[in-house]
């Protein structure tokens, strides 16, 4: 029951305020009377599937991912790409996207939910996204889509 209460409080905190770091979230929980460790907050973030999204001023905040069955709007994709993609490169059928630290997962999530048939998957690190394209001949077309969203 404690975890359920904590998750409810986390949801309330994330929805009403800008939380940029795990420490910010831990401090907000403490102000609500819930003592937590950094490890617990980290685990909660994973369990709640929180993502980091751009705040528009070059910073990032925790947020809940959009509904899985809702396709992202073109303007939302443009914002994510313009705010988060710093460089693009590729080799054969893999596109490499460079992002600021902490932004790769948001970019990968956006690409995964675009449901482009030529993209068979993404892998996100902290500041790099690998996009696997099939067939390899579709790489140029996919690069063009990425660049269009960035301009």
Positions in the chain short of pLDDT 50: 1, 68-70
Is the entire prediction scored with pTM above 0.75?
A: no
CATH class, 74-150 region: alpha beta
Phi–psi pair at 70, nearest 5 degrees: -100, 120
Write down the mean pLDDT value for the chain: 88
What does the pLDDT look like over 82-107, one tens digit per residue? 989 999 999 999 999 999 988 898 89
Q: What is the residue extent of each domain of the chain?
A: 2-48, 74-150
Is the peptide bond preceding residue 135 cis, with omega within 30 degrees of 0?
A: yes
Residues 123 and 133: beta-carbon distance below 8 Å: no
Chain Cα centroid distance, residue 96: 16
Beta bridge partners of 123: 130
Local structure of residue 123 (DSSP, 8 states): E
Does 1.10.150.120 match the CATH number of domain 2-48?
no
């Amino acid at each position: 029951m404690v975890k359920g209460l904590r998750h409810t409080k986390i949801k309330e905190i994330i929805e009403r305020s800008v939380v940029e770091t795990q420490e910010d979230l831990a401090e907000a929980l403490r102000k609500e009377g819930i003592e937590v460790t950094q490890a617990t907050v980290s685990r909660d973030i994973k369990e709640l599937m929180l993502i980091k999204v751009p705040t528009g001023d070059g910073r990032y905040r925790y947020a809940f991912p959009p509904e899985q069955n809702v396709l992202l709007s073109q303007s939302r994709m443009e914002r994510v790409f313009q705010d988060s993609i710093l460089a693009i490169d590729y080799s054969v059928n893999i596109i490499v996207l460079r992002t600021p630290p902490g932004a790769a997962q948001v970019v990968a999530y956006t690409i995964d939910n675009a449901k482009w048939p030529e993209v068979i998957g993404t892998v996100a690190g902290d500041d790099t996204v690998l996009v696997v394209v099939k067939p390899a001949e579709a790489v140029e077309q996919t690069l063009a889509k990425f660049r269009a969203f960035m301009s």
